[in-house]
């Protein structure tokens, strides 16, 4: 496939706002998880919370979009010069020729939770200030981003649980390849809410301690929130020094609503598809950025899938111990951390992992190291067996 260069990108998560905050934390082996302080009704767990969202209300023409999810999106769009880069591209190719494709799992559902809690009794109507279309509706995220960046190209929100914002890179490629747009803003945003905290707790999938991907004593996830955006354009010969999306692969396990196929066959097929599309071999990949949620079942299935493709020698690690599992934002966050690692020559380790499960056969790094990295396979797997894998790196 024709590579897409990552012309600009930005990250905001529990490690801080902007790329430098994430890079510094990765280099300092410093995570962003904290004991759950989101609300007063539990559960007892650790979370990856972004500071300052509560004081960053959207105002003026954007006030109708005001909710935790869109505030988080605004924080990220305002970092790393991303809005200025989008404005420059808009001036060059036109607002109608730039698409917006974003992923989220719950959008602004926290605004709906607030509306329900604001009622004086259970029979009372929702308050007048509640605006479903501009806050909770899945498309509200794409609508907000497109409006904020003054873009008029095709727009879409993809919601396939934790693979959502990896799949938008594939969506963007198809739109560009078929001529529906010349460039695309892609990304993912998911914010903390009671539904996900209590929902995953009810499924007995959250850990009471900071998550430990691939550790022998891992016992669940730490939920986080994040926003990550990238500006994609077709790569030219002059872009050899710019990280690109080289390939993507998508598949579905067709196995279970909330558990992965234990043999990892769906995940493996997505990785194979990404390699085929990029015209690469497994040996061309220097590092696998694992989905690595830290649940026993997910890590075991991904381990089998990665081993089936790469064998026991290719280094791999998860960054969920740094940021928490950011659900619908995880795919874009993983991919853009991968782009950063390619640029900076860095392989992160799996933070909080002290003793790798001996049942896992892949080469899981527990400490990061500075080393040249040309290409990374970045994984994102979601409920319903939805798998998406991206290859990020320099073209051959």
Q: What is the pTM of this model?
A: 0.97
Contact indicator for 244, 235 with CB cutoff of 8 Å = yes
162 has catalytic annotation: yes
Q: Which domain holds residue 209?
A: 4-393
* 3-state helix/strand/coil string of 136-199: CCCHHHHHHHHHHCCCCCCEEEECECECHHHHHHHHHHHHHHCCCCCEEEEEEEECCCHHHHHH
Q: What is the CATH number of the domain that holds 337?
A: 3.40.47.10
**Spans in the chain with pLDDT lower than 50:** none
**Identified catalytic residue from 67, 86, 162, 181:** 162
Query: Phi first, then psi: what are they for 259, rounded to 5°?
Result: -120, 145
**Identified catalytic residue from 136, 289, 291, 307:** 291
**Identified catalytic residue from 325, 341, 362, 389:** 325
Nearest C-alpha neighbor of 270 from the set 133, 139, 377: 377
291 has catalytic annotation: yes
User: Domains in the chain: how many in total?
Assistant: 1
Beta strands in 260-312 (DSSP E): 287-289
């Amino acid at each position: 496939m024709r590579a897409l260069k990552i012309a600009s990108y930005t990250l905001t998560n529990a490690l801080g706002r902007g790329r430098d905050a994430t890079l510094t934390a990765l280099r300092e082996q410093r995570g962003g998880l904290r004991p759950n302080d989101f609300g007063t009704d539990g559960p007892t767990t650790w979370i990856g919370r972004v500071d300052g969202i509560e004081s960053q209300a959207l105002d003026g023409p954007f006030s109708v979009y005001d909710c935790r999810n869109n505030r988080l999106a605004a924080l990220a769009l305002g970092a790393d010069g991303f809005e200025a880069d989008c404005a420059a591209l808009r001036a060059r190719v036109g607002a109608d020729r730039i698409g917006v494709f974003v992923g989220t799992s719950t959008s602004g559902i926290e605004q709906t939770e607030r509306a329900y809690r604001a009622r004086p009794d259970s029979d009372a109507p929702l308050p007048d200030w509640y605006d479903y279309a501009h806050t909770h509706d899945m498309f509200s995220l794409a609508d907000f981003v497109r409006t904020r960046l003054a873009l008029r190209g095709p727009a879409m929100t993809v919601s396939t649980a934790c693979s959502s914002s990896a799949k938008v890179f594939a969506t963007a490629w198809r739109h560009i390849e078929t001529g529906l747009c010349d460039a695309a803003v892609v990304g993912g945003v998911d914010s903390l809410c009671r539904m996900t905290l209590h929902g995953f707790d009810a499924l007995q999938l959250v850990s009471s301690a900071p998550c430990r991907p691939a550790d022998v004593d891992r016992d669940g996830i730490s939920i986080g929130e994040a926003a990550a955006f990238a500006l994609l354009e077709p790569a030219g010969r002059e872009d050899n020094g710019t990280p690109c999306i080289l390939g993507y692969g998508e598949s579905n396990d067709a196995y279970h609503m909330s558990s992965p196929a234990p043999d990892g066959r769906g995940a493996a097929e997505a990785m194979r598809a990404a390699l085929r599309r990029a015209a690469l071999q497994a040996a061309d990949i220097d590092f696998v950025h694992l989905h690595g949620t830290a649940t026993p079942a997910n890590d075991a299935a991904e381990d089998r899938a990665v081993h089936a493709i790469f064998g026991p020698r290719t280094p791999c690690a998860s960054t969920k111990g740094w940021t928490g599992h950011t659900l619908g934002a995880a795919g874009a966050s993983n991919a853009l951390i991968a782009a950063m690692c390619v640029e900076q020559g860095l392989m992160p380790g799996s933070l909080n992992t002290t003793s790798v499960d001996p049942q896992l056969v892949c080469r899981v790094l527990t400490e990061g190291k500075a080393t040249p990295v040309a290409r990374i396979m970045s994984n994102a797997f979601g409920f319903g067996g939805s798998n998406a894998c991206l290859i990020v790196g320099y073209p051959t």
